[in-house]
Structure 1
Amino acid sequence: MRDLYIWLLRLLLPLVLVRLCWRGLSNPDYWKRIKERFGFIAPLSTARVIWIHAVSVGEVRATVPLVRELMSRYPDYTILITTMTPTGSAQVRQLFDDSVAHCYVPYDYPSAVSRFLDRTRPALAIIMETELWPNIFHLCRERSIPVFVTNVRLSLPSTDKYRRFAGLVRTTLQQVNRFAAQSHADAERLYALGAAPESVEVTGSIKFELNGGASLRESAEVLRLAWGQGRPVWLAASTHASEEEMVLAALAELKQQPRFADMLLVLVPRHPERFSSVAKLCRKQGFQTALRSDTPGAVDPAVEILVGDTMGELPLFFAAADCAFIGGSLVPIGGHNLLEASAVGKPVVFGPHMFNFQEISLMTLERGAGVQIRTPAQLAPAVSDFLGNANRRDRAGEAGRKMVEENRGALAANMRLIEQLIK
């Protein structure tokens, strides 16, 4: 089955290159460092390497507690982080600077993967969430490089997609030494797809290990003063195409109420290539709009929307806002991580499409740390309920903070498994 997959990849190579060029039209960074995607990287000078693959921004942010713990426990190892996207690459550099090695992950061609492994020689491969690469996994097993897939989440839609290639997926899963699943439901789906039961352990989500600390709180207080201490601030985080229109409609409805007339909406699109178009949309609809990159200090009280067009500041925005809407949930994307808001004690609102974070969203509702809406028309009332009721907002925020605190422990479980694999 893998032979067929390899031949299919070879046939698709022209389309892979066309897609890379096409994506470069909206984000020219896709045209840079193309050689890395085929394994042409500078050989690492160290003989001890722990390789972590995180697809893009969200996965990179999730690695932070893991990377810090690895650096502390294995100081004689180089940490190599690979990503697929330029935004993920930028996030690596912003979070870790030169304390880690970084490059793009190679495309899953045997020659590219072999070249990459020859030049990095990892002692362990850690794959964040559910990235299944048949050739990478096979060639790691062939070279006796343990593969650890961590923070695994498998939604029903993803499981159904994998079932279309049941033979290849089963063989790929069986190359993995250990899986760390977020929940029992994720573990059951791994079993159903062919993972060996003894290779799977339920550890919880490493995303509960968020801890911004005093520095984040202090920075958030300074930012909130710049935004306006007395005005309501609503954050719409990681929004997608067509969601911005829904958010702007809710904003217009809210501003009709005198108590929200001076409201500030901080709007952060998920993909950087959309920053400019979203800002134009806001202005076209008549809102006074500013860009965060142009407004690092005080925000003029006349500004109604601040578009978050910077990288790496979303945790700070969560901490400075009053409540947050989680994007990707009013459109069938599957939602994004709401724990960043909960960790800093902020209530969340999200739509019906949260299948990427099903367990966490259900826990959030059970704890009273947020609300789920079914239609865009319910967005304004849900936000109003939090912004207009300080007691309710504080109760929901505290429930979220406690939820995150009480569910920590995944990091310790992951480190135990990593120690076993490195030995």
Structure 2
Amino acid sequence: MVKRMFWRLLLGILSLLAAPLLVWHPRLRCTLKDRLGLYPNLPPKAGPWRFWLHGASGGDLVTLVPLAQSLKAVAPGSEIIATALTRSGIEMANRYKDVFDHVYGQPMDGLFAPHRAFPRLNPDALILEYAEIWPGLIHAARKHDAIVVLNNGRIAPENVIKYRFLSKVCGGIFQKIDAFLMRNEDEARCVRAAGAQSDRVWVTGNTKFDALKGPESFERIQKLKHGLRIPNDVDVWTCGSTHEGEEGILLNVFKKLRKTVPELRLIIAPRYTERGSRIVDLAIEKGFHVWQRSQGDVTEGEHVDVYVMDTMGELQAAYGLATITFVGGSLVPRGGQNILEPAAESKAVLFGPMMATQKDLVEALVGRGGIQIQDESHLSKVLTSLFLNPDERVSLGTMAAHQVAQIKGASQKNAHHILDILKQRAED
């Protein structure tokens, strides 16, 4: 009882302190009503089940789309609620209104926000993405008889002790999770070591693979190419999902490449679009002519060296028009980003050494169209070689696309696991 009161008080204090950020910070902006769990009262379910899917970012919500589709396929008529922590996550979820029936911002984990949210939404299952283990949400779910599932479970070895401590301090939350659907066996071992019951842990793969729609349409790629006014006879290097500290490195490499490939163009698509203006300033400082995509199409006759894609929804097309691609979050300690997106476009994919949260993707792609580089010098050397050897880069792109086609199916497995647990609960 004392422990429960302690962690509830702690969550309340942390939520109170975080409230201004959760409502007004540019990356987290959301209505106060959503943060307090004051959602609309949903009507009684018309179908068999109502699922609450939660992720942090826009990328998380994209990864949850194929799971939502699979749940609707195996349980026709079911409803899907989607929540996200970040503004980009909420915006991305709203792009999939055909999949997500209701979209809201994530409630704070304290100040009784989850306990206000659950009776209003009345879900049968709370499905948390990656490592979105929120004690308040989990306890509220169990109090309101909803099952709790971790989808694409991700726990690194160095975090096992932290999660074990979190579970104990917050009332044994790992014992309140009904299923841990992990991406690979290494992460399954980690979650068991952190306190998960072995009979609740399954290795099912990564639904991120299923989120790939395949190659972007030719029309969308050509529309972007025309909007950027990129000549047909020039090579393009697209760097996607870049983070703070990476763009300077990439611009330095680009300057070196220009000595070998004078007409080369660079597209930088930052992970967080609000960083666009800073990247523009950095590129200008290095002597390049820059165009910021949020300003619209490139002006007729304008010469551009570097395009900063600070817009939503155009990354896949930017990969599609590339000659070679690089995926960010991997030259700085951010754990990496989705390297399968450019692979689906039949492009050679380069990425850095810091891929701690994407190990399964690295294993899938290295040697099969993907190249993991070690530092700036290595990146420059590999890119120079590939730009001078078109047959090699085409071969790498073909292998990458073939590998993407081979590794799908986790969403359907996870949907069946979730349905089996719900049916078992109904029978008990």
Length-normalised TM-score, structure 2:
0.90
Q: Distance in 1 between matches of 2:168 and 2:220?
A: 50
Q: Partner residue of 1:244?
A: 247
- How much does 1:120 deviate? 0.2
Q: Distance in 2 between matches of 1:322 and 1:51?
A: 40
**Structure-to-structure mapping, 1:73-112, within 5 angstroms:** 73-96=74-97, 100-109=101-110, 111-112=112-113
Q: Partner residue of 1:37?
A: 35
Q: Distance in 2 between matches of 1:354 and 1:389?
A: 27
Please tell me the root mean square deviation across aligned C-alpha atoms, in Å. 2.3
Q: Partner residue of 1:12?
A: 14
Residues 313-355 of structure 1, C-alpha deviations (whole Å, 9 max, x = no match): 2222222212221111111111111111112221211111110
Please tell me whether the aligned partners of residues 169 and 194 of structure 1 are also in contact (alpha carbons under 8 angstroms).
Answer: no
Range moving further from structure 2, 245-254 or 203-212: 203-212
* Counterpart residue identity of residue 217, structure 2: L
Q: Give the secondary-structure state (helix, strand or coil) at the position aligned to 1:381.
A: helix
Q: Give the secondary-structure state (helix, strand or coil) at the position aligned to 1:333.
A: coil
Please tell me whether the aligned partners of residues 212 and 341 of structure 2 are also in contact (alpha carbons under 8 angstroms).
Answer: no
Indicate how the Cα distance of structure 1 residues 130 and 12 shifts in structure 2: closer, same or farther if over 3 A, else same: closer
Indicate how the Cα distance of structure 1 residues 116 and 14 shifts in structure 2: closer, same or farther if over 3 A, else same: closer
Q: Distance in 2 between matches of 1:205 and 1:388?
A: 35
Please tell me whether the aligned partners of residues 16 and 111 of structure 2 are also in contact (alpha carbons under 8 angstroms).
Answer: no
- How much does 1:154 deviate? 1.8
Q: Partner residue of 2:258?
A: 255
Q: Give the secondary-structure state (helix, strand or coil) at the position aligned to 2:288.
A: coil
Q: Give the secondary-structure state (helix, strand or coil) at the position aligned to 1:96.
A: coil
Q: Distance in 2 between matches of 1:278 and 1:384?
A: 24
Q: Distance in 2 between matches of 1:211 and 1:92?
A: 16
Sequence identity percentage: 29
Q: Distance in 2 between matches of 1:64 and 1:339?
A: 16
Q: Give the secondary-structure state (helix, strand or coil) at the position aligned to 2:312.
A: coil
- How much does 1:170 deviate? 8.3
- How much does 1:133 deviate? 1.2
Q: Partner residue of 1:182?
A: 183
Q: Distance in 2 between matches of 1:422 and 1:403?
A: 34
- How much does 1:192 deviate? 0.3
Q: Give the secondary-structure state (helix, strand or coil) at the position aligned to 2:56.
A: coil
Indicate how the Cα distance of structure 1 residues 383 and 264 shifts in structure 2: closer, same or farther if over 3 A, else same: same
Please tell me whether the aligned partners of residues 170 and 193 of structure 1 are also in contact (alpha carbons under 8 angstroms).
Answer: no
Q: Partner residue of 1:378?
A: 378
Indicate how the Cα distance of structure 1 residues 334 and 157 shifts in structure 2: closer, same or farther if over 3 A, else same: farther
Q: Distance in 2 between matches of 1:207 and 1:333?
A: 18
Q: Distance in 2 between matches of 1:75 and 1:299?
A: 50
Residues 359-409 of structure 1, C-alpha deviations (whole Å, 9 max, x = no match): 221332243x22112222222222223333211111211221122211112
Please tell me whether the aligned partners of residues 150 and 179 of structure 2 are also in contact (alpha carbons under 8 angstroms).
Answer: yes
Please tell me whether the aligned partners of residues 227 and 298 of structure 1 are also in contact (alpha carbons under 8 angstroms).
Answer: no
Please tell me whether the aligned partners of residues 214 and 344 of structure 2 are also in contact (alpha carbons under 8 angstroms).
Answer: no
Please tell me whether the aligned partners of residues 151 and 204 of structure 1 are also in contact (alpha carbons under 8 angstroms).
Answer: yes
Q: Give the secondary-structure state (helix, strand or coil) at the position aligned to 1:287.
A: coil
Q: Give the secondary-structure state (helix, strand or coil) at the position aligned to 2:276.
A: helix
Q: Distance in 2 between matches of 1:299 and 1:422?
A: 58
Q: Distance in 2 between matches of 1:254 and 1:355?
A: 28
Q: Which has the higher helix share?
A: 1
For structure 2, the residue ranges without an aligned partner over 5 or more in a row are 424-428
Q: Give the secondary-structure state (helix, strand or coil) at the position aligned to 1:261.
A: coil
Q: Partner residue of 2:155?
A: 154
Q: Distance in 1 between matches of 2:392 and 2:300?
A: 27
Q: Give the secondary-structure state (helix, strand or coil) at the position aligned to 1:293.
A: helix
Q: Partner residue of 1:144?
A: 145
For structure 1, the residue ranges without an aligned partner over 5 or more in a row are none
- How many residue pairs match? The answer is 416
